[in-house]
Structure 1
Amino acid sequence: MGVSTTSPEEGVTVITVDFPPVNAFPVQGWYDLAAAVRAAGADPGVRCVVLAATGRGFNAGADIKEMQRTEGHAALIGTNRGCYEAFAAVYDCEVPVVAAVQGFCVGGGIGLVGNADSVVASDDATFGLPELDRGALGAATHLARLVPQHLMRTLYYTSRTVTAEELHRHGSVWRVVPRERLHAAAMELAREIAAKDGLLIRFAKAAINGIDPVDVRRSYRFEQGFTFEANLSGVADWYREAFVSSKSPKSPKSSTSSKSSTSSKSFEGESR
């Protein structure tokens, strides 16, 4: 359980996350992932990183239950900072990062995948940001790297998801394969990347990041400011409590409209 690192082939490092039952990350998990990605990128023998996960889905975001059982704001602040560090670590990794995505990829998963260099997905993979249904905001920055602008807005406002095949049609997913072929497909791409000269591949990563039209770190940090406002208003806590509780709490006083029907509670949590 946690974050583990292996080196199955020369030049390729695989970082695997395992937080049962649905890969909803505790606060420390984000920091551990960030540290693992940075360490892999700093290793001169590594030319490509594969980011993978075990279990039902790739990532269900943050552990909302941890937030609700933690007194004060430590878990909220930790999650916000941890997500920022993990997303930035993937983006800033000195070598290309290939995300191998199976099952659900929501909330914080979008932040990780959106900042990856390439995405390989299983045919059962789905992607989305149910943030508004969890009292949160954020990662629109990263969803906008996966789908066109108007689709990003529609997905964000509705909390809907899209399939791996749909993202493949938009060009943001490299390959869609059966789940049992996911690891092999990700390794195949990583192997091809890792065959390049180690110095040149690092130059290429830095150059491509340097011409990026959006500063993803600043953009995401801007979004996080509204997450804090949602928490200060009290509406965020209302939605988190509704998510973890079998009983619906009283309507949030700060909300400008009545809450719509609660979404399916398939996951432990979503990202900030």
Structure 2
Amino acid sequence: MGVSTSRPEAGIAVVTVDFPPVNAVPVRGWYELAEAVRAAGADPAVRCAVLAAAGRGFNAGVDLKEIQRGPGHRALIGANQGCAAAFAAVYDCEVPVVAAVRGFCLGGGIGLVGNADAVVAAEDATFGLPELDRGALGAATHLARLVPQHLLRTLYYTSRTVTAWELHRHGSVWRVVPPDELLPAALELAREIAAKDGSLIRLAKAALNGIDPVDVRRGYRFEQGFTFEAALSGVADRHREAFVSRTSRPSGPSGPSGPSRKSATDHEEEP
């Protein structure tokens, strides 16, 4: 359990997140993920990194129960800072990052995938930001990198999810494959990237980040200010407590094809 890194073949590092039962990541997990991604990018032998997850889904955001258990706002601040560190690590990774997504990708998962360089998804993958239902705001900066503006706003206001196939139609998902073919498909793309000259691929990553029209770090930190405002007003705590009480037993999301009204997991929030 936790974050691990493997080297399945030359030039490729696979960073895997595993926090059962639904990959709702605790504060320490976000920092572990950030460190693992930074280490992969700093390794001169690595030319492409794959971000993957074990278990029932790619990512269910932060661990809401941890936030509710902690006194004051200490855990909320930790989750905010940890998420910012992990998202930035993916964006700033010195080599391209391919996200391999299966199952649910919610809240913090959108922050990771939105900052990745390429996305390969399983047919069962769903993507969304149920932030308003959890008393939080955030990661719209990253969802905006996956869908057009009006769809972004509709998804954000309604807490609906979209499928991998819909993101594929928008051009933000490279391939959609059966779940058992996900990692091989992600490795196939990583292998093609890793075949390039290591120095040039790092220069290419820096160049593309340099011409990005949106500063994802500043955008996300701006959003987080409104999460803190919601927390200080008390509205965030009411929504989190209601969600934690409603989902006292583990349950995983299972969405129909196309947009769905909810993608509830047993704990999720992206601060």
**Which residue is equivalent to 2:174?**
174
Q: Does the CA-based 8 Å contact 1:30-1:86 persist in structure 2?
A: yes
Q: Does the CA-based 8 Å contact 2:100-2:183 persist in structure 1?
A: yes
**Which residue is equivalent to 1:255?**
none
Q: Does the CA-based 8 Å contact 1:110-1:142 persist in structure 2?
A: yes
Q: Number of paired residues?
A: 258
**Structure 1 residues 89 and 245: CA distance shift in structure 2, 3 A:** same
**Which residue is equivalent to 2:135?**
135
**Which residue is equivalent to 2:55?**
55
Matches within 5 A, 1:20-169: 20-169=20-169
**Which residue is equivalent to 1:198?**
198
Tell me by how many angstroms 1:265 deviates. 3.9
Tell me by how many angstroms 1:246 deviates. 3.7
Letter in 2 for 1:110: I
Rg larger in structure: 1
**Which residue is equivalent to 2:269?**
270
Tell me by how many angstroms 1:270 deviates. 2.2
SS across alignment from 2:226: helix
Q: Does the CA-based 8 Å contact 2:161-2:263 persist in structure 1?
A: no
Gaps of 5+ in 2: 248-260
Matches within 5 A, 1:236-247: 236-246=236-246
Cα RMSD, aligned residues only: 1.2
Separation (CA, whole Å) in 1 of partners of 2:201 and 2:46: 10
SS across alignment from 1:245: helix
Q: Does the CA-based 8 Å contact 1:133-1:263 persist in structure 2?
A: no
**Structure 1 residues 149 and 73: CA distance shift in structure 2, 3 A:** same
Q: Does the CA-based 8 Å contact 2:97-2:118 persist in structure 1?
A: yes
Separation (CA, whole Å) in 2 of partners of 1:267 and 1:104: 12
1:116-164 deviation digits (Å, cap 9, x = unpaired): 0000000000000000000000000000000000100000000000000
Separation (CA, whole Å) in 2 of partners of 1:69 and 1:79: 13
Separation (CA, whole Å) in 1 of partners of 2:132 and 2:269: 10
SS across alignment from 1:6: strand
Tell me by how many angstroms 1:267 deviates. 3.3
1:19-60 deviation digits (Å, cap 9, x = unpaired): 000000000000000000001100111000000001110000
Tell me by how many angstroms 1:73 deviates. 1.4
Tell me by how many angstroms 1:166 deviates. 0.1
TM-score using structure 2 length: 0.94
Separation (CA, whole Å) in 2 of partners of 1:15 and 1:107: 19
Q: Does 1:216 align with 2:216?
A: yes
Letter in 2 for 1:70: G
1:190-244 deviation digits (Å, cap 9, x = unpaired): 0000000000000000000000000000010100000000000000000000011
Give the share of equivalent positions with the same residue, in percent: 79
SS across alignment from 1:181: helix
SS across alignment from 1:51: strand
Separation (CA, whole Å) in 2 of partners of 1:10 and 1:76: 39
Letter in 1 for 2:144: A
TM-score using structure 1 length: 0.93
Q: Does the CA-based 8 Å contact 1:12-1:46 persist in structure 2?
A: yes
Separation (CA, whole Å) in 2 of partners of 1:149 and 1:19: 32
**Structure 1 residues 196 and 222: CA distance shift in structure 2, 3 A:** same
Separation (CA, whole Å) in 2 of partners of 1:98 and 1:226: 30
**Which residue is equivalent to 1:225?**
225
Moved over 2 A (4+): 262-267
Tell me by how many angstroms 1:83 deviates. 0.4
Gaps of 5+ in 1: 248-261
